[in-house]
Amino acid sequence: MQVQEWKLHWLASASVGSKLPNLAVKNFEPIVDMTKIYLHKIVLLLLCLALPFGLVAQALKIMPLGNSLTQADKDHLSYRYHLWKKLLDAGAEIDFIGSQQDNYSGNPTWPAYKGKNFDRNHEGHWGWTTQHILHGTSNGEETGNLTEWLSKHKPDIVLMHLGSNDMFKNAGIPETTDRLQEIVGKLRQANPDVVILMAQLFPAHPDAAGQQESRNIPLLNAEISKLAKELHTGKSPVVLVDQHFGIDPEKDKHTYDGIHPNEVGEEKMAQRWFDALQPFLNGNPLSSGAEQLPPALSVYPTLTHGRPITIKMDSLTPGEQVNLEVLTREGKLIWQLLTAADAKGSLTYTLTPSSAHASGLYIIRASRNKKIDTARFMVAH
């Protein structure tokens, strides 16, 4: 890893017909009518046989898989409701699936939309860790585990937001990452072509979750980013969905208690899921057979209180030159570095913001061979 210092503000390190009988005229007309009926049926049958099986429209089976942020409580509609509305607006043929239909401790009144009732099925489990998802728990009224659920509900797409409760219990990050990988494995056993949208976790306020517990979230998010890239294949894509950046966990901002999203937070989550779903909606193939690479540029954590930020690029050509820049949201350039990918086609740098940088949004821009990739992060002092 290369190291370079910019003394003013930053440290930088490095997809037939048979003939009619000869009958009297008086009997001819009804036979013609019957012949028309049979011909229509034959033509319809031939058309159906001629159509490729892939053109038969089927609803995409989407499983929202997670914990309380997926389930929501009796006073909140859940991100699922807002996402369902967006999918209806888009004309998408979808079917939410899962063993659950209720919110935690009761249900809100979900307004009908466009003449349809909310599709309530999901696999969100309040308070559950990745260990519970894999193996179940004897506590509470909920039963079962992922293997049992998948035996009855086989998803085409999974919206996976898991790991928060592990972090709140101070479970080890490596162990949690291993369990997330095991969950992906079980999803692929149920459907080898499953598309997995893997979320970087919604933030938590330290006053609600605890200082260390809230800090655990971005640390796990960094590993989730790596895991998504490691597990991604053309046959079964793993798409990283940032449910962290730009979310303010302050009570009454984007949460109602410092941990769980209020209506504004639910809307934000829904929009990010919807954006990530776009390549797979309205007849687009779930898997093209070609390798669908995740974004070349990533940054983590996406929210920093002064701690280092890691910039990472993959899928580059070994030795490929890259011009890295950091800009304010207004577009003012504050740092840049011309560097090159290593022998494996990777690039890693670490930036440490100083107190001289104001809190706010910053943009990282990577330019290479007339191609530009961007990523964003937030500084909060």
Instruction: Report the distance separating Cα 157 and Cα 280, nearest Å.
Output: 9
56-97 pLDDT, tens per residue?
Answer: 457 899 999 999 999 999 999 999 999 999 999 999 999 999
For residue 14, which of 5, 6, 3 has the smallest C-alpha distance? 3
Q: Which residues, 6 or more positions from 106, have their beta carbon under 8 angstroms from its beta carbon?
A: 73, 74
Instruction: Report the distance separating Cα 12 and Cα 195, nearest Å.
Output: 36
Query: If you average pLDDT over residues 233-255, what whole number do you get?
Result: 91
Cα dist from 204 to 19, 94, 201, 245, 249, whole Å: 77, 31, 9, 12, 6
343-375 pLDDT, tens per residue?
Answer: 988 899 988 877 667 777 788 888 888 788 888
For residue 179, which of 133, 147, 221 has the smallest C-alpha distance? 133
| Angle at which helices 211-231 and 173-190 cross, to 10° | 40
Instruction: Report the distance separating Cα 103 and Cα 342, nearest Å.
Output: 49
Q: Amino acid letter at 240? A: L
300-312 pLDDT, tens per residue?
Answer: 777 677 778 889 8
Instruction: Report the distance separating Cα 218 and Cα 221, nearest Å.
Output: 5
Instruction: Report the distance separating Cα 52 and Cα 175, nearest Å.
Output: 45
- pTM above the 0.75 mark? no
Instruction: Report the distance separating Cα 143 and Cα 350, nearest Å.
Output: 44
Three-state DSSP state, 186: helix
C-beta of residue 88 within 8 angstroms of C-beta of residue 81: no
Instruction: Report the distance separating Cα 46 and Cα 17, nearest Å.
Output: 13
pLDDT at residue 282, as a whole number: 59
Q: Which residues, 6 or more positions from 178, have their beta carbon under 8 angstroms from its beta carbon?
A: none
Q: What percent of the chain has pLDDT over 90?
A: 55
- 374 dihedral zone (left: phi>0; alpha: psi -120 to 50; beta): beta
Query: If you average pLDDT over residues 143-156, what whole number do you get?
Result: 94
pLDDT at residue 309, as a whole number: 85
Q: What is the mean pLDDT of the chain?
A: 82
Query: If you average pLDDT over residues 193-215, what whole number do you get?
Result: 95
Q: Amino acid letter at 197? A: L
